[in-house]
């Protein structure tokens, strides 16, 4: 019994140590964001700031357009998550509560979009967006993220667990489809809708390639694109950049830590074969 307890303590110590090693890049970035310029690339390297300063954050927010990047990312992530949530709910509603011609074909079509990596399409999508004059607009940045087949699939699986009887009961009470949708289905699905919203927010917030492609004006860049332009590749002024890095990762990491279970549940559907 005693060796078992000792083993338990050992495993926990080891795991905690390992956790710190894994977190190291984030912790180090935070530490550097509080360092003076001369302490960043010193010999021997500093783990902790010799003297704590908030100068880097001041520089990041006043001398660069960091706040604008953050605002852009918030707007884009918000528009896309809301759109994904609304459109996926509507589609899942059709797929789970109606019988109609072509249902399986349309559902297969929806799932097939998962098999096509969006990156393969960026050349063509870029042409579409630039022809539509949407370069350097929020709509252009959002365009390809407005719908997600995995969200539709997730919500459909969830709606199917409601017995059709729920809908039939609602009809007996004289409830229209629209009312059934807004008054009954949406309220009881709040947890799963939160999941869709949060996982979309995190994933859209972290997008890099497409937002970079469709913006070339500084005021419209998202944080993920902007952050890489705070310094050029050969400069060694890392302090303000790390301040920006910390600011950029706080929203998603915080959301993730607060709603880990929710977000993970959203990503896991489809992972395990039924």
By CB under 8 A, is residue 2 in contact with other proteins?
no
By CB under 8 A, is residue 109 in contact with other proteins?
yes
Residues within window 52-81 making contact with other proteins, judged by CB under 8 A:
none
Shorter beta-carbon distance to other proteins: residue 30 or 53: 30
Determine the interface stretch with other proteins among 56-64, 155-163, 185-193, 263-271 (rule: CB under 8 A): 263-271
Shorter beta-carbon distance to other proteins: residue 186 or 253: 253
Residues within window 159-198 making contact with other proteins, judged by CB under 8 A:
164, 167-168, 171-172, 174, 177
Smallest separation, CB 264 to other proteins (Å):
6
By CB under 8 A, is residue 1 in contact with other proteins?
no
Residues within window 4-33 making contact with other proteins, judged by CB under 8 A:
8, 11-12, 14-16, 18-20, 22-23, 25-26, 28-29, 32
Of 124, 133, 187, 190, the residue at the interface with other proteins (CB under 8 A) is 124
Of 147, 157, 162, 184, the residue at the interface with other proteins (CB under 8 A) is 147
Are 240 and 32 in contact by the 8 Å Cβ rule? The answer is no
């Amino acid at each position: 019994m005693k060796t078992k307890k000792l083993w338990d303590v050992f495993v926990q110590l080891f795991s905690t140590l390992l956790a710190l090693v894994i977190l190291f890049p984030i912790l180090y970035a935070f530490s550097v964001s509080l360092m003076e310029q001369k302490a960043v690339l010193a010999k021997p390297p500093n783990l902790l700031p010799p003297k704590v300063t908030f100068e880097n954050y001041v520089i990041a927010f006043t001398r660069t357009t960091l706040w604008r990047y953050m605002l852009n990312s918030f707007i884009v992530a918000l528009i896309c998550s809301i759109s994904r949530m609304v459109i996926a709910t509507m589609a899942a509603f059709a797929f789970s509560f109606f019988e109609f011609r072509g249902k399986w074909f349309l559902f297969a079509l929806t799932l097939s979009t998962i098999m096509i990596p969006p990156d393969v399409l960026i050349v063509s999508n870029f042409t579409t967006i630039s022809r539509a004059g949407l370069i350097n607009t929020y709509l252009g940045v959002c365009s390809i993220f407005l719908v997600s087949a995995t969200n539709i699939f997730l919500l459909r699986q969830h709606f199917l667990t409601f017995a059709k009887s729920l809908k039939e009961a609602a009809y007996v009470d004289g409830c229209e489809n629209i009312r059934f949708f807004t008054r009954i289905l949406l309220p009881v699905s709040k947890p799963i809708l939160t999941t869709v919203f949060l996982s979309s927010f995190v994933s859209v917030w972290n997008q890099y390639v497409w937002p970079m492609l469709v913006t070339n004006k500084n005021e419209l860049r998202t944080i993920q694109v902007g952050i890489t332009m705070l310094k050029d590749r050969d400069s060694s002024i890392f302090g303000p950049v790390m301040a920006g890095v910390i600011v950029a990762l706080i929203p998603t990491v915080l959301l993730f830590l607060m709603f880990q279970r929710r977000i993970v549940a959203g990503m896991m559907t489809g992972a395990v074969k039924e």
